[in-house]
Amino acid sequence: MSAPPDHPRDPFAWNILIALVFMALALVRISTPTQPYFDEVHYLPAARAVLDLGFATNVEHPPLGKQLMALGIWLFGDGPFGWRVFSVIFGALALFAAMRAAWFSSQTRAASLLTGLFVSTNFLLFVHARIAMLDVFMVAFIMVALWMFAGAVRENETGRWRLVISGVALGCAMASKWNAIPLAVLPGLAFFGARLAAGRRHFLTSRRGWPVAGIPLWEAGIWLGLLPLAVYALTFWPFLYWSVPSGNSTGLIDLHQHMLALQTQVPQGHPYQSEWWQWVSNSRSIWYLYEFIDGAQRGVMLIGNPVTMWFGLLAMGWCAWEGWRTGRKDMLALVLLFLVSLALWILAPKAVQFYFHYFLPGMFISGAMALAVEHLWQRGERLIPITLAVAAAGVFIYWFPILTAAPLDDPQDFLRWAWIGGWR
């Protein structure tokens, strides 16, 4: 008799549990420091401007992330918890969505759970889940869009509503930060390319074939093309009430010309600025905080988990080779997402760049680590995958005080974590 087919169980409950544990850890000392730190000093006034609808500030970035911060202030008060609570929620959402995307794209429990491990401990997500900055909102919406798109590809019968949610999430991602734009076009391009490659005479109206059977190309264009643009435009509603520096608060074209000019201006250099190759090598950190505050010496360091970021490069290279050799679309998708999200900063005319621009590529590096470790385990290896998983978690635990603004013993305590010159 034939062996029964393998039907791996959906790790949905485990995904929820991991996201909740992450949220609980992110809430540790969430109100410390009690004063705005790093880029909170730019975004919090912009969030307050949403509430009073007076004069727009921080207009170089789209408004949605600042609206979510404003919602936190409105619900929980204009204090540290209100500033940062939605960052915590969306950080947990980003983690959960990444695990779900891994499940639908790979159909293995191990890949999903290992994605949870390496994403939750990669430092980038955790630090940004605890600070009132725009990046975590953008990343969370991108992860939701990828989750929904992967789910539509895997379960065609749910394809329509998943593509709708994916389109809404893509629009919200772009409306949080423009970093999302290169990735936001990829699902629509993938759908178009797949149907074009099928070579059917009526490829615009055909409902057959990959990636989502039952959805014609013209309909996918609505959900993955027009809908994101409409959602993006709708988030600019506060500009109907704000006064803006350009003087024209109702003209989106004029407003975007002004935003682009602010994005491409050449500002004064910053001591923590860095280049993309320093992000890839994990050799240049940012100290979001390091001072005596709230009664103690405290610090918040942004750098990638050394285990995940260094070994993740090898894992990404393996995904490229294995994906090309075997035709595994999940691996090839990870490689493409990593390269596109990184290429933005290689090509972008932005004079001053920072390590936090590696946030999205770092998420895909973490996913590649999960697939590589799973492959080693399935091949019968035990020492290397266990070592990598335990080391990533162990380094996160060691770094925890400097990720959560814990009180330190001495002003020179930063040397415990500043292993190399670029981390000081």
Q: How many CB atoms lie within 10 A of CB 424?
A: 13
Spell out a b/e string for 41-67, using b for 16 or more CB atoms within 10 Å of the CB, else e: ebbbebbbbbeeeeebbbbebbbbbbb
Residue 307 and residue 237 in contact, taking contact as beta carbons nearer than 8 Å:
no
The half-sphere exposure of 169 on its side-chain side, counting CA atoms within 13 A, is 24
Residue 129 located in a structural domain: yes
373-415 pLDDT per residue, tens: 999 999 999 999 999 999 999 999 999 999 999 999 989 999 9
For residues 299 and 29, is the Cβ–Cβ distance under 8 A? no
Instruction: Using CB atoms within 10 Å of the CB of residue 142, give its burial: 0 to 12 exposed, 13 to 18 middle, 19+ buried.
Output: buried
Q: For residue 6, is it within any domain? A: no
The values of phi and psi at residue 81, to 5°, are -65, -45
Does residue 398 lie in a domain region? yes
Residue 255 lies in a domain: no
Q: Cα 53 from chain centroid?
A: 29
Instruction: Quickly state the pLDDT bin for 240 (edges 50, 70, 90).
Output: confident
Q: What is the CA radius of gyration of the chain?
A: 22
Each residue's pLDDT tens digit, 138-157: 999 999 999 999 999 999 99
**Total-model pTM:** 0.95
Mean pLDDT of 165-174: 98
- Percentage of residues of the chain with pLDDT beyond 70: 97
Sign of CA dihedral 248, 249, 251, 256: positive
Q: Does residue 241 or residue 186 have the better pLDDT?
A: 186
| Residue 225 within a domain | yes
The answer to whether position 395 is within a domain reads: yes
Identify the DSSP state of 290.
Answer: E
Dist. CA 227–CA 232, nearest whole Å: 8
Work out the average pLDDT over 220-246: 90
- What one-character-per-residue DSSP string does 252-268 give? HHHHHHHHHHHHHS---
Number of neighbours of residue 401 by Cβ within 10 angstroms: 18
Q: pLDDT tens across 32-44, in order?
A: 999 999 999 999 9
Counting the structural domains of the chain, the total is 1
Are β-strands 296-302 and 286-293 bridged in parallel, bridged antiparallel, or unpaired?
antiparallel
Q: Is 419 among the domain residues?
A: yes
List Cβ neighbours of 260 (8 Å cut-off, separation of 6 or more). Answer: none
Task: Please spell the DSSP secondary structure of 292-361, one letter per residue.
Answer: EETTEEEEEEE---HHHHHHHHHHHHHHHHHHHHH--HHHHHHHHHHHHHHHHHHH---SS--GGGGHHH
The answer to whether residue 359 scores a pLDDT higher than 60 is: yes
Structural domain includes residue 7: no
Q: What H or E segment, with its residue span, contains residue 287?
A: strand 286-293
Range of the domain at 20: 12-247+271-423
Q: What is the DSSP letter of 55?
A: B
